[in-house]
Each structure stands twice: as C-alpha cells, then as structure tokens.
A and B are shown apart, each in its own frame.
Chain A
C-alpha cells in the first residue's frame, strides 16, 4: 500500500509535466487545426538546451533560471517553424501540414543525431527530496510539477486576461471575423505556434532535470502527449493538464501490478478506447 501511494505520487508529479508538454500540442491544434509532428524533437531540444545552458559541461546556469531562456528560445523557434513550414500549408488539406511538420521533425532529428550523437546525456543535478509520511518526493520532480502548474496558470491568464491572448482565442474561433476586426491573424497564429513550442520546450527542460535523454527522447513524450490530448479533448489546454495527471497516475500505479513494459500497452489501449467511446475527450474538448 505504501509503495502504491509513493509511486502514485511520483506518477502524478510527472503527470503535470506531461500535461504541460501536451498543452503545447493541443494549443496549436485548437488554434490552427495543425497536428505538430515536430512536437517530440522540440521537447528533446528543450532537454538539450537545458543540458547546454545549465549542465556541468555547459554554461552552468541554475536550471530554473535556464528555463526562462529555454522558454524564449522555444517561442522564437516556434515562430520560425510556423513561417517556414506551417503558414503556407494552413489552408491545404490536413495531410500537407502533417507532412510538413513531420519534415521538420526529421530535420531536427537528422541534424541533432549528427551533431549530438545518440549517446545518452544527463544533467547531474539534485535538490534533495522531502518525505511526507511514507512518501518520499524527489525535489526536482516536485519543483518540476510546481513549475508546470505555474506555467499552465500563466497560460490560462494569458489566454483569458490579456489582449494578445484573447486575440489568439478570437482567431482560433473565427479567423475571418478576427481579420475584419483588425486582428492580424497571421502574426497571431505565429505567436500561438510559438507558445505551443515554448510549452513543449519548457517541458523538455524540466524532464532533463531528472531523466537522461538523447535527441530521440522526445518521441516517447510526443506519444504521451497524443494520449493526453485525446484524454483531455483535442484543442482543450485545461483538459491537457487533467489528461497528464491521469496518464501520470497510471504510469505510477501500473508498475506495481505488472511489468513496466506493459505500461505503454495500457496507455495505447486507453488511447484507442477513448477515441472510440468518447472522441471529444473526457472533458468535452475544445472542438
């Protein structure tokens, strides 16, 4: 029982971080109907950015300060990807944007593998742990979860309380009407894509504070993001956090009852079942 609670708690902490990554994916989908297949490599780039900015062989900056830089780089990178690979295929059939973001995926992985190799890296970083009764929480995971919650809250405030955030919702809701009201929809879409990749790269940076990684590591989290997004409802950022918690909790509990290698199987069974039974997600979904 104690072990169950401990691993559930651990899973939930990770769940917040998964949820943050998924939020990036679902925001982009909700706003522009594009499934960003470069999501995984962007997460991996977030990990490497963390490695180079705060690693012992890198600049050695505090990882949580490094996150600010990673966020800015992620935003800028996303805006670039938008103009290079997404903008021109926005009104084309869905397959076009899938292929073009997949190309971005392949390019990042190709260049990344050539430069960074696939030797696992890790950040030697620890801030201790705290014990609550039978449960011992690793400090890095606890802080990561708190940061994920904070970023999610900031995203919510941005989308619902600020002018550019509301413009994103307006463009997402009705692009032509937004243009008629003087909202520059192309810039707004680029910003949305930038924020989506920013969230993914922050998640990557956080994961790097406790797991080892290679340039290919993003793939796993991309798949998790898909499961979460389906759980929470496509295009629904708040649902993504809940979906992350469900997935994290599941990952925490499942290994207590079965071999770890079964966990992804369970996840994808869940994925398929949700798609069949409740395709709009558990929370209703943005669309």
Chain B
C-alpha cells in the first residue's frame, strides 16, 4: 500500500500512437472509495490516457501503480484480472453475442467468477432492461441499452477500480440521469471510480476530485467543488 491511500497511481506518463505523442508527463491518483473525474475538451487525450492505464497502449515513459505495485508493463487482460476494469468509449460490446453472453464474458476472470451469481443479480436489478433482453444480440439494442450493458459488463468483472470512458455520450437526457444515479449508488457502495465525461457540469457535481486535461497535460486538479468554481473551467466547459 502507498502512504496516501491511492489505489491507482499514474506517474509522469507519456504516451501516444506510434510516432505521435499525445500525453505529456501526466500524473493522476485515484483515492480508494472515491469517484474521480477526468474532464477536458474533445481530443485532448482522455481516451488515450484510459487506454494507456489499462494496457491497450504502452506508455513511452512513466509508471502505473496499482495497489502499490508496478503494473506498467503487464498486459491488459492481466490488469483486468487484478481488478482494473475499463468500460471503454463507444461501448465496444461483443455485438454478435447476446446480452447474457456479454455479461458472462465480463465475468471471465477468476475474481469475477467467484462473485458471478451476486453480480449477475445485482446488474439485473440495476438494469431491469437487460434482464428482459438477455437473449437478444447486443448489437441490435438501442444506444442507451448498449451503454447500460457496457457498464453492467464492467461490473460483472468485479472491479476494484472501475474506469468509465464517456458514460453519457449521445444518450437521451433521462437515460443520462439514470446512469448518474447508478454511478452515485456505486460510489455509496464504496467502489473506486474514474469517470471521463463530456458533461462537465454533471461530472463535477457527482465526483469527489477532478482532473482537467488539456493538450495531453494535466492543466488543473483539485476537489471537484473547487474545480467547478475555477474561472477558466467555468468559461471553457460550463459556458458561464
């Protein structure tokens, strides 16, 4: 364990795609049991950071620590089996498989299998729609239902840290409210989360701590309430 109680520490990470560097020396900590949000305009590197943390991209520099041990170089599937789980941008469901099979695949790792029954009951209770549609091919569902499934699949993995990239992108307002309600509930249950969200106002309202990313660098960080009061943030993201 680290002294500051951070479950996940991203230390001076630089990353990108081939020759193109996108992230420059990014550092970020997730406190246990807290909901942290990562905000910033389109294309500043939020998704790139998520992908680097979970191991789909290899950082050119820096380190990622999970529960105090260095996990920078291990593969994405090994990170998932330690409990570091990403709900990726654009849902990335197994579109040719049924809703139920998607949930089963979410519970692929050993830690997830141990809690399979409870988790399945829990996600069906959180998202009754998914229970109704359990034998439907996931690719044929509406965007909102797909997003629910993406979150549910992530929860089936028994995450210790759940990272969600663009929770509400492209969803109808009432669905956005539902999903944020779920988020609040997960937070109350003590799950550590990192939320990337283009609805900055809602993200700052629900989270404990926030990072503002700009051009691949952390521009600002602090308790969400203070970040929400920051003049620049209000101008740039809250339209005030």
Contact = CB atoms under 8 A, between A and B. Distances in A.
A183 interface: yes
Given A166-B104, A174-B92, A185-B77, A180 B85 contact: yes
B113 to A, nearest CB: 9
A180 B54 contact: yes
Contacts of B96: 169, 173
A176 B78 CA distance: 13
A281 to B, nearest CB: 16
A178 interface: yes
Contacts of A177: 88, 92-94
B101 A181 contact: no
A93 to B, nearest CB: 16
A250 to B, nearest CB: 31
Contacts of B80: 179-182
Nearest to A186: B75
B206 interface: no
B77 A173 contact: no
A179 B97 contact: no
Contacts of B78: 182
Interface in A154-182: 163, 166-167, 169-170, 173-174, 176-182
Interface residue range, chain A: 10 to 19
Given A182-B108, A182-B109, A174 B77 contact: no
A60 interface: no
B92 A176 contact: yes
Interface string B113-154: 000000000000000000000000000000000000000010
B195 interface: no
Interface string B84-103: 01101000111111000100
A166 B153 contact: no
A136 to B, nearest CB: 43
Contact of A181 (B55, B75, B95, B105): B105
Given A177-B92, A181-B157, A182-B81, A170 B97 contact: yes
A264 interface: no
Contact of A182 (B88, B101, B104, B112): B112
A58 interface: no
Nearest to A287: B96
Interface string A179-196: 111111100000000000
A173 B97 contact: yes
B59 interface: no
B108 A181 contact: yes
Contacts of A180: 54, 56, 76-77, 80, 85-86, 88, 92
B106 interface: yes
A166 B97 contact: yes
B116 to A, nearest CB: 11
Contacts of A181: 77, 80, 85, 105-106, 108-109, 153, 157
A181 B108 CA distance: 7
Contacts of A166: 97, 101, 104-105
A91 B174 CA distance: 41
Interface in A92-130: none
Nearest to A177: B92
A169 B94 contact: yes
A182 B95 contact: no
A176 B85 CA distance: 13
Interface of B: 54-56, 75-78, 80-81, 85-86, 88, 92-97, 101, 104-106, 108-109, 112, 153, 157
29 contacts: A163-B104, A166-B104, A166-B105, A169-B96, A170-B101, A173-B96, A173-B97, A174-B92, A174-B95, A176-B76, A176-B92, A177-B88, A178-B77, A179-B75, A180-B77, A180-B85, A180-B86, A180-B88, A180-B92, A181-B77, A181-B85, A181-B105, A181-B106, A181-B108, A182-B109, A182-B112, A182-B157, A183-B108, A185-B77
Interface of A: 163, 166-167, 169-170, 173-174, 176-185
Given A179-B77, A180-B76, A182-B108, 20 more contacts: A166-B97, A167-B108, A170-B94, A170-B97, A176-B56, A176-B76, A176-B92, A177-B93, A178-B94, A178-B105, A180-B80, A180-B85, A180-B88, A180-B92, A181-B105, A181-B106, A181-B108, A182-B81, A182-B109, A183-B108
Closest 6 CB pairs of A and B: A182-B80, A182-B109, A179-B76, A177-B92, A173-B94, A182-B81
